[in-house]
Amino acid sequence: MSVPANNYLSTLRPSFKPFKADLGKIAAYQYRGTLATALESGKITKQQAINLLEDMLTVREFEEMIVKLRTGAYEACAGFEYRGPTHVSIGQEATAVGCTSGINGDDYITSTHRGHGDSVAKGMAAIREMPIEQLKERLPGTELSKKGDLVAAAHEDHVYRAIAELFGKEDGYCKGRGGGMHIADFSAGHLGSNAIVGGGVPIATGSAVSARYFKNGKVTCCFAGDGAYSNGVVLESLNYAAQGQFTRPEYAGKEGFGLPIIYALINNHYGMTGRADGEVTGVNNMARRAAGFAENNMHAEIVNGMDVLACFDATQRAAEICRAGKGPVLLEFDTYRYYGHSLSDPRNEYRTKDEEGDWREIDPLTTFEKQVLDCGVLTKAKLDALKRKVVDRNARAAAKAAQAAEPLASDVLRFMYTDTKVEKVPAEFTKVMVDGDLPEVKRSAAGELTYKDAIKEALIEEMVRDNRVVVYGEDVAEYGGAFKVTKGLIDAFGRNRVYNTPISEAAICGTAVGAAMTGLRPVAELMYMDFALMASDQIANQAAKWHYMSGATVEIPLVIRASVGGGKGYGGQHSQTLESMFAHIPGLYVVYPATPADAKGMLKSAIRDNNPVMFVEAQLLYNAKGVVPEGEHIVPLGVADIKRVGSDVTIVTWGPALFDCLKAAETLAAEGVQAEVVDLRSLVPLDMETVLASVHKTGRCVVVSQAVNVGSFTAEIASRVMAEAFDSLDAPVLRVGARDGIAPQSHVLEQAFLPNANDIVATVRQTL
């Protein structure tokens, strides 16, 4: 085997010499310090100790408020009906506060559906580190000028906005669109809590990819529970983060730098009602998961999660490891939640009172308060004053939030999409380093390109235009992807911008979400559209929803290139045309160009758009040729194109079915029927105006795609034409699609399965 010219890979030779793998050891509960020793050594100051205590008290008060709200016992909100979720984290305050205080204020976190505490803690810590101007931005119209006064006001505003989000109010961090399970504050580095167990882990991993790329020194602390660490996308993410190509010299060179991410595994010992450790897994310590992903066990450590100083120390050390390029790190925090999964769970069916009592004896607040008093950091009177301050601040914020304005009902769909795009690349991102010659894209004498070369040209041009554009997916690097669309890109742009991924579709798409949130503009490739089902949560619940759920405080500028293999005899799991499924997901753009010119122009538009885009490609079209303009050729998304003008019937289509429609139109023309062929090109956004204008002219409509008819987007078009152009119709709207079955491998059967020009002609005749 020869070494590739780019020297990214070393020669692999067979060797079966016997050896025994050494999986190493994972340290547990190594921190033996106290507040006294931490103060004496200068590890923390007295003020930092007070901050830790204040933040834990704030988290506890916030969470206990939720419990009281459910029973009507929270006096500050008497008469207010709280309708939100009740997944409280009482008992886990040390992990939330210790971890968020152990990283920098501008570092990132992601959290879980039980993430109010993490969110409150991150904001409290981040606000203290903000410069005066940033604090003033958080407090528009303030007349305060002193740092201390601004921090105090920002803390109160932080608690208010967090409670307002919990209550679904317009003043909430996400304008009430996300609620407690999706709370986020991107201005403080909080990239969002997640109602999908483990759903935020690939997003956190993607934010670390972004930080590594930009070399901005930021670390991501990814909170997820013990239950999440049996979830596929979480394990995919650990593998993704630990890839050797980020650090090994043969891939990364001397500048190898591991992903700067801390996986904070919050082991509160109950996934919901079941025990993760020792019951639904085969390990007693969840930190052992790390041994499966990195030779160094991801620096794994088990930490006393009931001791805020231990959590602070472990996170601080982990952050130093990450900033030194030695990440990722996995920390298991051994803690406990005193309540059930939610307040509807009485927990008496699977826990004992003795168990809970033992844990309450080492309550993180009680034990730390005692140390604060014993060390003279606070007197009893000052401790009581601090507690009153926290309780009163929360009560004021809650009362204000209860009375705050609700979102307008007319705004129910506001923030579903953004209308922004990159019209002009900021100057700092126009400086593009090209390692070698750009891949050659050969045109014919007539100016023709193949469909796949048109896509490649779009990628090249956008990567040259904007250094935030990165390309990754399975086999896209040296090999150039399964269909050679990305061949040569790695030679020009290097492995930081073009790299292979594990066969982990969920992690591919999920990391793209996190990377897009934090500054990159990823183009992720899915080898077959069928595999998008493996990533459907990250596409539908994450990429599509975060702009809306964040109240438009974040945009998700990513492109997922997904190729359709229908018509090649690949059978039921490699041949599905699934664009209709993803068109059903609000928040996601879905486009499907059929010609090389449209493929280039629409991919460029998709990369520049700030919405997530599912960019569908047909493998049958990859070698099809067409004239493609050189240079800046842009085709807008959401604009249909009339590929053939006619007067007797409108044929609406998209994707490779376009060419069957054009062939059918030729046959019909010989019979004296002039068909107008409308190529939608884009399902979302949808250009119904062009379709309706055509139908008003012709009076008849047939809708065609290669998708199976049942549940197809063809029905959406047909329904809207019937509803919006009924008076112009001279016949019912008919549809042509694949048979309502599974794509067969047999060539004969597949021909019978997929629609063809004869099917379209026959259907048009029915309308006549």
Look at residue 224 in the predicted model and tell me its pLDDT.
98
The rounded distance, in Å, linking the Cα atoms of 290 and 406 is: 45
User: What is the CB neighbour count within 10 angstroms for residue 495?
Assistant: 19
CATH architecture assigned to 641-767: 3-Layer(aba) Sandwich (3.40)
Residues of the chain with CATH 3.40.50.920: 641-767
Residue 660 near residue 755, CB atoms below 8 Å = yes
CATH classification number, 27-186+220-270+338-406, choose in 3.40.1390.10, 3.40.50.970, 2.120.10.10, 3.40.50.300: 3.40.50.970
Non-local (6+) Cβ contacts of 428 within 8 A are: none
Residue 329 near residue 262, CB atoms below 8 Å = yes
What mean pLDDT is predicted for residues 405-409? 96
Residue 69 near residue 83, CB atoms below 8 Å = no
Percent of the chain predicted with pLDDT > 90: 94
What mean pLDDT is predicted for residues 261-285? 91
Look at residue 84 in the predicted model and tell me its pLDDT.
87
Q: Roughly how many angstroms between the first and final C-alpha of the chain, as a whole number?
A: 64
Residue 710 has pLDDT above 80, yes or no: yes
The rounded distance, in Å, linking the Cα atoms of 470 and 452 is: 18
What mean pLDDT is predicted for residues 227-231? 94
What mean pLDDT is predicted for residues 377-393? 98
The rounded distance, in Å, linking the Cα atoms of 42 and 28 is: 24
Look at residue 376 in the predicted model and tell me its pLDDT.
97
Residue-wise pLDDT for 65-81, tens only, equals 999 999 899 999 999 99
Look at residue 276 in the predicted model and tell me its pLDDT.
84
Residue-wise pLDDT for 43-69, tens only, equals 999 999 999 999 999 999 999 999 999
C-alpha to C-alpha distances, 358 to 102, 270, 337, 363, 369, nearest whole angstrom: 27, 16, 12, 9, 18
Which of 148, 147, 166, 221 is CA-nearest to residue 188?
A: 221
**470, β-bridge pairs:** 522
**Known active-site residue 269:** no
Look at residue 9 in the predicted model and tell me its pLDDT.
56
CA atoms within 13 A on the CB side of 601: 21
pLDDT band at 4 (very low <50, low <70, confident <90, very high): very low
Question: 682 is written with which tokens?
Answer: 């884009």
Q: Per-residue DSSP letters for 605-619?
A: HHHHBSS-EEEEEEG
What mean pLDDT is predicted for residues 662-670? 98
Non-local (6+) Cβ contacts of 77 within 8 A are: 69, 398, 399, 402
What mean pLDDT is predicted for residues 82-87? 91
Look at residue 374 in the predicted model and tell me its pLDDT.
98
Residue-wise pLDDT for 601-641, tens only, equals 999 999 999 999 999 999 999 999 999 999 899 999 999 99
Which of 2, 101, 90 is CA-nearest to residue 50?
A: 101
Which of 137, 98, 96, 90 is CA-nearest to residue 120?
A: 96
Residue-wise pLDDT for 323-376, tens only, equals 999 999 999 999 999 999 999 999 989 999 999 999 999 999 999 999 999 999
Residue-wise pLDDT for 491-532, tens only, equals 999 999 999 999 999 999 999 999 999 999 999 999 999 999
Residue-wise pLDDT for 126-155, tens only, equals 999 999 999 999 999 999 999 999 999 999
Handedness of CA 506, 511, 512, 513 (dihedral sign): positive
Question: 390 is written with which tokens?
Answer: 């926290």
The rounded distance, in Å, linking the Cα atoms of 520 and 526 is: 18
Look at residue 3 in the predicted model and tell me its pLDDT.
38
- The H or E element spanning position 448 is strand 448-450
- The H or E element spanning position 334 is strand 329-334
Residue 280 near residue 230, CB atoms below 8 Å = yes
Look at residue 278 in the predicted model and tell me its pLDDT.
82
Question: 657 is written with which tokens?
Answer: 């079915």
What's the distance, CA 388 to chain centroid? 39
Q: Which is catalytic among the residues 93, 505, 555, 579?
A: 505
C-alpha to C-alpha distances, 227 to 231, 268, 539, nearest whole angstrom: 7, 9, 22
Residues of the chain with CATH 3.40.50.970: 27-186+220-270+338-406, 427-627
Question: 315 is written with which tokens?
Answer: 């996170």
Non-local (6+) Cβ contacts of 470 within 8 A are: 213, 496, 497, 498, 515, 520, 521, 522, 523
CATH, range 427-627: 3.40.50.970
pLDDT band at 2 (very low <50, low <70, confident <90, very high): very low
pTM of the model: 0.96
What mean pLDDT is predicted for residues 548-555? 97
What mean pLDDT is predicted for residues 737-746? 95
Residue 570 near residue 578, CB atoms below 8 Å = no
Residue-wise pLDDT for 415-473, tens only, equals 999 999 999 999 999 999 898 899 999 999 999 999 999 999 999 999 999 999 999 99
Residue 264 near residue 221, CB atoms below 8 Å = yes
DSSP structural state of residue 535 = G
The rounded distance, in Å, linking the Cα atoms of 73 and 61 is: 13
Which of 703, 717, 713 is CA-nearest to residue 583?
A: 713
Question: 592 is written with which tokens?
Answer: 């499907």
> Of 247-261, 540-554, 601-615, 628-642, which gets the smallest average pLDDT?
247-261
C-alpha to C-alpha distances, 67 to 56, 80, 182, nearest whole angstrom: 17, 13, 19
- Mean pLDDT, rounded, of the chain: 95
Residue 1 has pLDDT above 50, yes or no: no
Which of 548, 438, 427 is CA-nearest to residue 491?
A: 438
The rounded distance, in Å, linking the Cα atoms of 115 and 477 is: 37
Residue 5 has pLDDT above 60, yes or no: no
**Known active-site residue 355:** no
Residue 10 has pLDDT above 80, yes or no: no
Q: Which is catalytic among the residues 525, 574, 579, 750?
A: 574
CA angle 451, 454, 456 (to 5 degrees): 115
List the alpha helices (DSSP H) in 404-500. Answer: 451-465, 489-493
- Beta strands 589-591 and 682-684 are antiparallel
Residue 702 near residue 760, CB atoms below 8 Å = yes
